[in-house]
Amino acid sequence: MKHIYFPEPFRIKSVEPLKILTREEREKKIAEANYNVFALASRDVYIDLLTDSGTGAMSSGQWAGVMLGDESYAGADCYYKVQEQAHKIFGLPYVQLVHQGRAAEKVLLPILLQGKKYAISNMHFDTTRAHVELAGARAIDCVVPEALDTAKYYDFKGNMDCGRLEQYIKELGAENIGVIIMTITNNSAGGQPVSVENIRQTREIAHKHGIKFMIDAARYAENSYFVKQREPEFKNSSIQDIVKATFEDADCFTMSSKKDAIVNMGGLIGCRDKEIFELVKQRTISFEGFITYGGMSGRDIEALAIGLEEGIDENYLKYRIGQMQYLAARLEEGGIPFQSPVGGHAVFVDAKKLLPHIPYYQFPAQALAIELYLEAGIRACDIGSYMLGNDPDTGKQLEAEFEFTRLAIPRRVYTQSHLDVIADALINIKERAANIKGYKIVEEPPILRHFTAKLAPID
Ligand SMILES: *Cc1c(COP(=O)(O)O)cnc(C)c1O
C-alpha cells in the first residue's frame, strides 16, 4: 500500500481511555437513542466522528495559556491578545468575540439582511441557513456543478458558480440580496476548498452590485493549505499570506473558532465597516455579553489566541490533510465511494452510491451512520436529506443534492490505527449493503430537526 502520508508533528502527553461495547450493547443503545446518533452518550461511542467542531486536542502551549487567562469582566489581557492576533492573521480592522459560529451568525446576519429577501452562498452551512431564515430571508446555494459529481476530480469543488450567481442577481434584484457568503472550506459540499481566484471573482461581483461580501471562515487554514497545493499563484506563498489574500476586501466574516483555531469553544466576527461594527457590538452585549469577552471565559480566549497561530502552521496542516488522504486512500482501495478528492476536515462517504436501494426520503446517509455505529462503535452523521429537512414554505421533505455520511476527523485526536478501524468497518458494511434498510421520522421539531428528531427503521 502506498499512501500520501505525513506523520504527526507532535507526541502524546495525556491519554483519554475509551470503552468498546459489544455489538449487542450497541444495538440496544442506538434503539434507545431512537436511531438519532446525537442522542447517544459519548461513553457508548468508540471513535467519535460526529464533528470536528470543538473536539480537537489543545496543545501544551494552549493548556499553559489556560492558566494565564484573565477572567476580568472588562478589558481582560487575553482580549487584547486575541484582537492583535486576529488583526495580524485576517487583516480586518474590527473583530468581535462571540461564543461560537452560530452566535456570530445570530449577531451579524440580521444586520446584513434587514429589509432584504435573500442570501446567496456557495453553500450555506446548516446553522447559517437557519439564521438566514430566522432573519426572514431565504438562503440560496450556488456551488459549481463539478461539486455534484462525487467521482469527478476537480481542484476546487467548493467554488461559487459565478455565472449562475450573476444570473440570480439579475433575476432576484441586487437590492433584495443582503449578503453573498463564501463558505471556506465548503463544508456541505464535502469540506471542499475554494480558490482565491474564485473568492476574488465572487467578491467583485458582489461589490459591483453593491452587495456585502462575507466569508464563513470556519476552515480558513485548511482552505489556505489546499490553495497552496493547487493554485499555481500561491505555490510559494506562506499559509499566512494566503489567509491575507483570502480575506482581502471582504466586508465581514463569521467564524467558528472550534474548527481551525483548535479550541473547544469560541467564535469571531470580523468587519471592515465601522457602522456595521457598532451594531455588532450592541447585539453582542445583548446576546453574548460585554464586548471584551463576548460569551467566552478568559482562559478560552487565551487558548484561542494561541490556537489561531497553531492552526496556520504548515507542518500541522500537512499532517491534518494527510490524515484525510490516508483514510481516503484506504477507502478507495476498498471500493467505498466518497466525495473525491477528499476535503479538509472529513471524508464524505457517498451513501447514495453505497446504498442505491434506499430513496432520499428514507435517509440513506443516516442509515449508513447507524450501520457504522453497529459495526464498530463509530459515530458519524448524515449530511443529506435528513439534515436538510423540510421546505419552510410547504413543509415537504426536501431532496438534498448529496446523501453524505460524514466522517469528521477531530484535530490531533485519533491515530492512524483508529483510521484503519474506520476503513475496515466501511469495507465490512459494503459487503452487506444490499440488506441495509432505510429509516422514517416519527417525531421532529420544525427547525434544525436532525439534532433531536426520533427515527425508526423501515421493515
Ligand atoms: C461549524 C460551522 C458553523 C457554526 O459554528 P458553531 O461553532 O458550530 O456554532 C458555521 N459555518 C460553518 C461552515 C461551520 O463549519
Question: Mind listing the pLDDT tens digit of every residue in the chain (459 residues)?
Answer: 555 668 899 999 999 999 999 999 999 999 999 999 999 999 999 999 999 999 999 999 999 999 999 999 999 999 999 999 999 999 999 999 999 999 999 999 999 999 999 999 999 998 999 999 999 999 999 999 999 888 899 999 999 999 999 999 999 999 999 999 999 999 888 899 999 999 999 999 999 999 999 999 999 999 999 999 999 999 999 999 999 999 999 999 999 999 999 999 999 999 999 999 999 999 999 999 999 999 999 999 999 999 999 999 999 999 999 999 999 999 999 999 999 999 999 999 999 999 999 999 999 999 999 999 999 999 999 999 999 899 988 989 999 988 999 999 999 999 999 999 999 999 999 999 999 999 999 999 888 889 999 999 998
Residues 6+ apart with CB under 8 A from 76: 69, 70, 292, 293, 298, 301
- Of 42, 35, 37, 49, the C-alpha closest to 21 is 42
Catalytic residues: 73, 125-126, 216, 218, 259, 450
Domain architecture of the chain: domains with CATH:
23-52+313-457 (3.90.1150.10), 60-310 (3.40.640.10)
Give, for ligand 1, the residue of 98, 102, 262 to mutate: max count of ligand atoms closer than 8 Å to Cβ. Answer: 102
What DSSP letter does each residue of 235-269 carry, written as one string? TTS-HHHHHHHHHTT-SEEEEETTSTT--SS-EEE
The angle subtended at Cα 207 by Cα 267 and Cα 255, nearest 5°, is 10
C-alpha distances in Å from residue 102, one per residue of 243, 320, 412: 22, 24, 24
| Ligand 1 binding residues, C-beta < 6 A | 53, 100-102, 125, 127-128, 183, 187, 216, 218, 256, 258-259, 267
- Of 54, 57, 7, 1, the C-alpha closest to 323 is 7
Tell me which amino acid residue 329 is: A
Give, for ligand 1, the residue of 52, 97, 121, 127 to mutate: max count of ligand atoms closer than 8 Å to Cβ. Answer: 127
Q: What's the pLDDT at 148?
A: 86
- Neighbouring CB atoms inside 10 A of 15's CB total 6
Give me the sheet containing 381-383, strands edge to edge: 346-350, 404-408, 381-383
Tell me the three cell numbers of residue 312: 496556520
205 vs 216: CA distance, rounded Å: 17
Q: Which residue has the cell 470556519?
A: 218
